[in-house]
Amino acid sequence: MKLDPSLLHLECVPCEFTRPMDNLRLAQNLFQLMMKSNGIGLAANQAGVNARLFVMYVDREAFHCFNPEILEHRGATITSREGCLSYPGDICEIVRSATILVKFANARGIYQEREFTGLAARCFQHELDHLNGITMHDRVIEGV
């Protein structure tokens, strides 16, 4: 598996849970690619896979996020610098919510809700944007 920008501007299709071992294998492959690329998050479409899945490793915790969504933006927004494995060397100032309440499934389709703050919240929002066909450059251009 390698980085493949061909699907970056498409909204990804929801994951199904009829083959959980295949889901887990895909998530593990994405995780390995992310670590090899020195990233903290990677969406499936960044690797050329049209699926609503991303992985992230923040605050010493690994996440496989299938069909993720943000349930609530909480508190203030923060402007910070972001990079992206799909755009090596590019850094953009992006406004994001400091705290979010999210929902995502594991490889078997079991959902959980979780609150993320700080870097975890920023990473979740960045990767979810990818699944919606939005890049960090789009956020800068739109002024969002």
Q: What is the pLDDT of residues 91-138, one digit of tens each?
A: 999 999 999 999 999 999 999 999 999 999 999 999 999 999 999 999
The answer to whether the predicted template modeling score (pTM) of the entire model surpasses 0.85 is: yes
Q: Backbone dihedral region of 13: left (phi > 0), alpha (psi from -120 to 50 degrees) or beta?
A: beta
82 is catalytic: no
Which CATH code is given to the segment(s) 5-142?
Answer: 3.90.45.10
28 pLDDT above the threshold of 90: yes
Lowest-pLDDT range, 5-9, 46-50, 91-95? 5-9
pLDDT confidence of residue 1: 82
* pLDDT above 90: percentage of residues in the chain: 92
List the domain boundaries for the chain.
Answer: 5-142
pLDDT band at 140 (very low <50, low <70, confident <90, very high): confident
143 pLDDT above the threshold of 50: no
Which of 61, 72, 82, 127 is flagged as catalytic?
127
